[in-house]
Amino acid sequence: MRILLHTVSVILLATLSTGCVSQRTVDGKEKPAQQFNAREAAATRLALGLQYLQTGNYEQARVNLEKARDYTPENPAVQTGLAFYYQRVQDYEMAEQYYRRAIQLQPDNGDTHNNLGALLCSMGRYQAAEQHFNRALQIPDYVKVAATYENAARCAARAGDLQKSDQYFQRAINHSSRNSTILETYAAVLLEQQRYQDAADVLARRAQLPQLSPEYLWLESELARYQNDRVRQRSFGELLLSRFPDSRQAQTYRARAAKTKS
**Which secondary-structure segment (H or E) carries 23?**
strand 22-24
- Rounded distance between C-alpha atoms, residue 65 and residue 206, angstroms: 40
In this prediction, residue 260 carries a pLDDT of: 76
Q: What share of the chain is helix, strand, coil (3-state, %, to 5)?
A: 75, 0, 25
Quick one: how far is CA 35 from the chain centroid?
36
Task: Inform me whether the pLDDT recorded for 87 exceeds 80.
Answer: yes
Mean pLDDT of the chain: 89
Task: For the chain, give every domain's residue range.
Answer: 199-261
Task: Encode pLDDT of 207-223 as tens digits.
Answer: 999 999 999 999 999 99
Answer whether 111's CB lies under 8 Å from 136's CB. yes
More confident site: 181 or 15: 181
In this prediction, residue 48 carries a pLDDT of: 96
Instruction: For Cα atoms 74, 76, 82, give the angle at the middle one, nearest 5 degrees.
Output: 105
pLDDT tier for residue 22 given thresholds of 50, 70 and 90: very low
Q: What are the DSSP calls for 126-158, one per residue?
A: HHHHHHHHHHHHTSTT---HHHHHHHHHHHHHH
Single pTM value for the model: 0.82
